[in-house]
Amino acid sequence: MESSAQQIPEIQVIPTAAQIFMFSAITWNRHHIHFNKDAALAEGHADVVVQRALLGNFMARHVGSWLGNRGHIQRLSWKVQKSATPGNPLRCTGTAVDAGEAGGRRQFLCALTIIDHTDAAVASGEATVVI
Protein backbone atom coordinates (compact mmCIF):
# COMPACT_ATOMS: atom_id res chain seq x y z
CA MET A 1 0.00 0.00 0.00
CA GLU A 2 1.17 3.46 -0.71
CA SER A 3 1.30 6.25 1.86
CA SER A 4 -1.35 8.47 0.23
CA ALA A 5 -5.09 8.19 0.79
CA GLN A 6 -6.80 5.38 -1.04
CA GLN A 7 -10.41 4.42 -1.57
CA ILE A 8 -11.63 1.30 0.17
CA PRO A 9 -13.65 -0.64 -2.41
CA GLU A 10 -17.33 0.06 -1.85
CA ILE A 11 -19.72 -2.68 -0.83
CA GLN A 12 -23.49 -2.66 -0.93
CA VAL A 13 -25.80 -4.33 1.56
CA ILE A 14 -29.56 -4.56 1.50
CA PRO A 15 -30.88 -5.21 5.00
CA THR A 16 -34.03 -7.32 5.18
CA ALA A 17 -36.79 -7.27 7.77
CA ALA A 18 -35.83 -10.84 8.71
CA GLN A 19 -32.18 -9.85 9.19
CA ILE A 20 -33.17 -6.90 11.38
CA PHE A 21 -35.48 -9.12 13.43
CA MET A 22 -32.85 -11.85 13.85
CA PHE A 23 -30.16 -9.30 14.78
CA SER A 24 -32.49 -7.99 17.49
CA ALA A 25 -33.09 -11.52 18.73
CA ILE A 26 -29.43 -12.48 18.88
CA THR A 27 -28.41 -9.22 20.58
CA TRP A 28 -31.42 -9.22 22.97
CA ASN A 29 -32.52 -5.85 21.59
CA ARG A 30 -36.21 -5.72 22.49
CA HIS A 31 -36.91 -2.22 21.20
CA HIS A 32 -40.08 -2.68 19.16
CA ILE A 33 -39.05 -0.34 16.31
CA HIS A 34 -36.71 -3.11 15.09
CA PHE A 35 -39.38 -5.77 14.63
CA ASN A 36 -42.84 -4.20 14.73
CA LYS A 37 -43.68 -1.99 11.75
CA ASP A 38 -46.77 -0.49 13.42
CA ALA A 39 -44.69 0.54 16.43
CA ALA A 40 -42.00 1.98 14.16
CA LEU A 41 -44.62 3.96 12.21
CA ALA A 42 -46.11 5.24 15.48
CA GLU A 43 -42.68 6.60 16.40
CA GLY A 44 -42.34 8.41 13.07
CA HIS A 45 -40.24 5.89 11.13
CA ALA A 46 -41.05 4.73 7.60
CA ASP A 47 -40.62 1.05 8.53
CA VAL A 48 -38.76 -1.06 11.07
CA VAL A 49 -35.31 0.41 11.69
CA VAL A 50 -31.86 -1.09 11.18
CA GLN A 51 -30.08 -1.26 14.55
CA ARG A 52 -27.08 0.96 15.28
CA ALA A 53 -25.00 -2.15 15.99
CA LEU A 54 -25.98 -3.76 12.69
CA LEU A 55 -24.80 -0.63 10.87
CA GLY A 56 -21.50 -1.02 12.73
CA ASN A 57 -21.41 -4.63 11.59
CA PHE A 58 -21.78 -3.45 7.99
CA MET A 59 -18.85 -1.06 8.49
CA ALA A 60 -16.72 -3.84 9.97
CA ARG A 61 -17.65 -6.10 7.03
CA HIS A 62 -16.67 -3.32 4.62
CA VAL A 63 -13.25 -2.73 6.18
CA GLY A 64 -12.72 -6.46 6.72
CA SER A 65 -13.36 -7.26 3.07
CA TRP A 66 -10.71 -4.69 2.11
CA LEU A 67 -8.21 -6.03 4.66
CA GLY A 68 -8.69 -9.70 3.90
CA ASN A 69 -6.08 -11.75 5.75
CA ARG A 70 -3.51 -8.92 5.67
CA GLY A 71 -4.45 -7.33 8.98
CA HIS A 72 -7.13 -6.59 11.53
CA ILE A 73 -9.39 -3.84 12.79
CA GLN A 74 -7.91 -2.39 15.95
CA ARG A 75 -10.68 0.13 16.66
CA LEU A 76 -14.03 0.99 15.09
CA SER A 77 -16.45 3.75 16.07
CA TRP A 78 -19.48 5.21 14.32
CA LYS A 79 -22.38 7.59 14.74
CA VAL A 80 -25.82 7.19 13.18
CA GLN A 81 -27.23 10.29 11.50
CA LYS A 82 -30.36 8.85 9.91
CA SER A 83 -32.50 5.73 10.17
CA ALA A 84 -32.17 2.96 7.60
CA THR A 85 -35.00 0.63 6.68
CA PRO A 86 -35.23 -2.85 5.14
CA GLY A 87 -35.20 -3.40 1.41
CA ASN A 88 -33.25 -0.23 0.65
CA PRO A 89 -29.64 -0.54 -0.50
CA LEU A 90 -26.90 0.85 1.70
CA ARG A 91 -23.51 1.70 0.21
CA CYS A 92 -20.51 1.39 2.49
CA THR A 93 -17.73 3.74 1.38
CA GLY A 94 -14.42 4.70 2.87
CA THR A 95 -10.93 6.09 2.52
CA ALA A 96 -7.78 4.80 4.19
CA VAL A 97 -4.82 7.02 5.03
CA ASP A 98 -1.44 5.61 6.00
CA ALA A 99 -0.80 6.71 9.58
CA GLY A 100 2.69 5.30 9.91
CA GLU A 101 4.22 2.40 11.70
CA ALA A 102 3.21 0.91 15.03
CA GLY A 103 5.11 -2.05 16.46
CA GLY A 104 6.64 -2.96 13.13
CA ARG A 105 3.29 -2.96 11.32
CA ARG A 106 1.59 -0.33 9.16
CA GLN A 107 -1.32 1.48 10.72
CA PHE A 108 -4.12 3.06 8.65
CA LEU A 109 -6.89 5.43 9.64
CA CYS A 110 -10.11 4.86 7.75
CA ALA A 111 -12.94 7.36 7.32
CA LEU A 112 -16.17 5.43 6.72
CA THR A 113 -19.68 6.35 5.58
CA ILE A 114 -22.87 4.41 4.97
CA ILE A 115 -25.06 6.05 2.33
CA ASP A 116 -28.69 5.16 1.68
CA HIS A 117 -30.69 4.92 -1.56
CA THR A 118 -31.39 8.68 -1.46
CA ASP A 119 -27.64 9.45 -1.28
CA ALA A 120 -28.00 10.62 2.33
CA ALA A 121 -25.45 9.64 4.96
CA VAL A 122 -26.93 7.11 7.39
CA ALA A 123 -23.79 6.69 9.52
CA SER A 124 -20.22 7.91 9.59
CA GLY A 125 -17.33 6.37 11.40
CA GLU A 126 -13.63 5.77 11.80
CA ALA A 127 -11.53 2.66 11.97
CA THR A 128 -7.92 2.09 12.86
CA VAL A 129 -6.48 -0.95 11.11
CA VAL A 130 -3.12 -2.65 11.41
CA ILE A 131 -1.52 -4.44 8.48
Confidence of residue 3 (pLDDT cuts 50, 70, 90): low
* Secondary structure (3-state) at 110: strand
Q: Rounded to an integer, what distance in angstroms lies between the CA atom of residue 21 and that of residue 64?
A: 24
Confidence of residue 42 (pLDDT cuts 50, 70, 90): very high
pLDDT in tens, 114-129: 999 999 999 999 999 9
Identify the bridge partners of residue 126 per DSSP, sorted by sequence position.
77, 111
Confidence of residue 5 (pLDDT cuts 50, 70, 90): confident
Question: Which of 50-59, 92-101, 112-121 is the least confident region?
Answer: 92-101
Strands lying side by side in the sheet with 72-80: 6-13, 90-102, 105-115, 121-130, 72-80
Q: Which of 5, 14, 3 is nearest to 90 (CA)?
A: 14
Q: Which of 57, 119, 59, 122 is nearest to 85 (CA)?
A: 122
The whole-number pLDDT of residue 1 equals 45
The structural domains of the chain, ordered by start, are 6-15+52-130 (3.10.129.10)
- Residue 75: which H helix or E strand, with range? strand 72-80
pTM for the model stands at: 0.91
Sign of the C-alpha dihedral computed for residues 72, 69, 79 and 17 taken in this order: negative
